[in-house]
Amino acid sequence: MSRLRVHAFSISLDGFGAGPGQRLEDPLGRGGESLHEWVFPTHTFQAIHGKGAGTKGIDDDFAARGFENLGAWIMGRNMFGPIRGPWQDSTWKGWWGENPPYHTPVFVLTHHARAPLAMNGDTEFRFVTGGIHAALEQAKAAAGGKDIRLGGGVSAIRQYLEARLVDELHLALAPVLLGAGEHLFAGLDLRALGYECTAHVPSAAATHVTLTREH
């Protein structure tokens, strides 16, 4: 049975998953890039982006797990790009170039319809206007029994958490403070929603925390 998983989602010590002032030139907001310093040097990140050998160890182990047994992805429109409102600019194909690192169907949550977008490497962006449940059902059908990874951003993850649809959530707690931005857990009672901490592993660059939903 397909599970919905979040992996390698970085948050600050004060709970923010993105900084304030997100824009094309600064997609993670002010200070947001610092949340991901733990993953940039890893072998998994470097290999995905066609760069050097990268580092092994705890951080790479967690990064690599996020790509195991995946048949589909889901992401919010904010993760796909900075465009708001109707899709007036059809030339925007995401942040990742012609060969995105997904290699599966990717279901993008949006309020505005757009035709599917086939990319190199078997990635196809499919734009879902029917909400989070419709996206999950379509992703399950496409995944063929494999798991589905929920990539973010903060709003998308919060919606799926509140609906008790995330089976596993891996957070990388970065040793930084943002002070403002998009808060991942504000107003959410994770215990009441059925989540508990099932693992916590520190590395030199982050603390890796896994939350699992009780069925």
Domain ranges of the chain: 6-19+28-84+97-213
What is residue 1's predicted lDDT score, i.e. its pLDDT?
Answer: 86
Is 70 a residue whose pLDDT tops 90? Answer: yes
CATH homologous superfamily for the domain 6-19+28-84+97-213: Dihydrofolate Reductase, subunit A (3.40.430.10)
Is 27 a residue whose pLDDT tops 90? Answer: no
pLDDT classification of 208: cutoffs 50, 70, 90: very high
Higher per-residue confidence, 82 vs 103: 103
Q: What is the mean pLDDT of the chain?
A: 95
**Contact indicator for 140, 148 with CB cutoff of 8 Å:** yes
What is residue 74's predicted lDDT score, i.e. its pLDDT?
Answer: 98
Is 151 a residue whose pLDDT tops 90? Answer: yes
104-130: burial string, b at 16+ Cβ within 10 Å, e else:
bbbbbbbeeebeebebeeebbbbbbee
Name the pTM for this structure. Answer: 0.94
**Contact indicator for 161, 192 with CB cutoff of 8 Å:** no
The number of helix segments (H) and strand segments (E) in the chain equals 5, 11
